[in-house]
């Protein structure tokens, strides 16, 4: 099992540690609800250094990524990032990812920790077609880069104390290289997985402990807290953000998952599964991923059945929890298309009881 370079900090802080995606990761420190509300109201720091990073470089880098990913990489200017997915050639999703444009010949892909090896093998299988060589134009830097997500309404003001450049005016899904906490060439990205605002900071592994200490010194007056993966999950679920392996997978299409906005059908862009997804869009999907609120008291969990009023199965919960912010059960589920509009009445089967829920806008 791997560890991030910050693992000892988590242990010293009393974090509950557990295996996740092959890493020994902090799940919680003071409690999921407490950490969740700290991010919603103040500022929290996540060690997400377990995520994977791949460099794609060279004159054919853009053509390669246009074919490999569903979104329009050509629309990215230097300093911009986009959310996208890797179609698997069978109508499903290899992974969802971020694509960063350093310049027209240099891109950084940030992928999920549990999919690093699968994603790397997938993209390398198409490299030769575009004249790219793994280990040269394609480089797996996952074991060399640390990533801290600083999230919450006081996150930007905390990081601003350490940054030589202005981070307050970085547009959403944009990034800048700058000196942070005395660390040269840190990448500060206006992205995150919480919906609470903030940024993500990429540094070399050797610089991660320095950055960690500096952030907690700078954020002391703002009530900064370390946050584990437990609250990361409840935060993203409140926002309706997909989690790979639960809400999306090799068996779900981006159109079923409500991710049609990251699938760009352009005449000059050929990409894996384009024809399949065009046919699926024309025919319509038979199921859709929806968000829902529990009306009856109960906590939905992944794999629970979703039923119609007559008890007939119409789908399945993919993610669910008790919302720390709203104090009600919330979740996401694939349901038959007829039940997918906001306001539809559905029932979640919990301990053989059908508990009423309502679909809502994600």
Is the same domain home to 211 and 177? yes
Query: Helix or strand or coil: residue 23?
Result: strand
Pick out the chain residues at pLDDT < 50.
Answer: none
Q: Does residue 71 form part of some domain? A: yes
Instruction: Evaluate whether residue 12 is within a structural domain.
Output: yes
Same domain, 168 and 31: yes
Asked if the structure places residue 293 within a domain, the reply is yes
Other residues' Cβ atoms within 10 Å of the Cβ of residue 322: 17
200 with 342, same domain? no
Backbone angles phi, psi at 352, to 5 degrees: 65, 10
Identify whether the C-beta of residue 224 lies closer than 8 Å to the C-beta of residue 253: no
Q: What share of the chain is helix, strand, coil (3-state, %, to 5)?
A: 25, 35, 40
pLDDT at 38: 98
Residues 15 and 81 in one domain: no
Residue 213 φ then ψ, to 5°: -60, -45
* Chain centroid offset of residue 61 CA: 23
| Pair 313, 359 in one domain | yes
What per-residue confidence (pLDDT) applies to 153? 98
Crossing angle, helix 229-239 and helix 32-41, to 10 degrees? Answer: 60
- What is the CATH number for 88? 3.30.70.1400
- Domain coverage including residue 81: 52-138
> Which structure tokens are listed for 23?
């890493």
Using CA atoms, how far apart are residues 271 and 213, in angstroms rounded to an integer? 43
At 129, phi and psi to the nearest 5? -60, -25
Last residue of a domain, one of 238, 270, 299: 238
Judge whether 267 lies within some domain: no
> What does DSSP say about strands 345-350 and 305-307: parallel, antiparallel, or unpaired?
antiparallel
């Amino acid at each position: 099992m791997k560890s991030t370079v910050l693992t000892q900090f988590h242990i010293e802080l009393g974090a509950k540690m557990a295996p996740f995606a092959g890493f020994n990761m902090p799940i919680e420190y003071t409690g999921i609800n407490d950490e969740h509300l700290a991010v919603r109201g103040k500022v929290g720091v996540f060690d997400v250094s377990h995520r994977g990073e791949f460099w794609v470089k060279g004159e054919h880098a853009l053509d390669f990524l246009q074919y490999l990913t569903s979104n329009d990489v050509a629309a990215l200017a230097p300093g911009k990032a986009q959310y996208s997915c890797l179609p698997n050639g069978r109508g499903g999703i290899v992974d969802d990812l971020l694509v960063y444009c350093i310049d027209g010949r240099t891109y950084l892909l940030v992928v999920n920790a549990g999919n690093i090896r699968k994603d790397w093998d997938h993209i390398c299988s198409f490299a030769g077609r575009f004249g790219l060589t793994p280990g040269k134009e394609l480089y797996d830097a996952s074991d060399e880069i640390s990533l801290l997500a600083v999230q919450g309404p006081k996150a930007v003001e905390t990081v601003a104390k350490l940054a030589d450049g202005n981070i307050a005016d970085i547009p959403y899904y944009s990034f800048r290289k700058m000196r942070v906490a005395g660390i040269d060439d840190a990448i500060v990205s206006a992205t995150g997985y919480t919906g609470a605002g903030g940024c993500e900071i990429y540094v070399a592994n050797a610089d991660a402990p320095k950055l960690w200490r500096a952030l907690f010194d700078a954020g002391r007056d703002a009530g900064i807290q370390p946050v584990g993966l437990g609250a990361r999950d409840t935060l993203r679920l409140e926002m309706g953000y997909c989690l790979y392996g639960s809400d999306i997978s090799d068996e779900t299409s981006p159109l079923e998952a409500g991710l049609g906005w990251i699938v760009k059908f352009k005449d000059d862009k050929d990409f894996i599964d384009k024809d399949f997804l065009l046919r699926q869009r024309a025919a319509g999907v038979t199921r859709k991923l929806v968000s829902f609120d529990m009306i009856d008291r109960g906590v939905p969990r992944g794999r629970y059945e979703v039923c119609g009023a007559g008890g007939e199965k119409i789908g399945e919960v993919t993610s669910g929890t008790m919302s720390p912010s709203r104090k009600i059960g919330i979740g996401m589920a694939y349901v038959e298309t007829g039940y997918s509009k906001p306001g539809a009445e559905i029932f979640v089967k919990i301990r053989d009881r059908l508990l009423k829920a309502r679909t809502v806008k994600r």
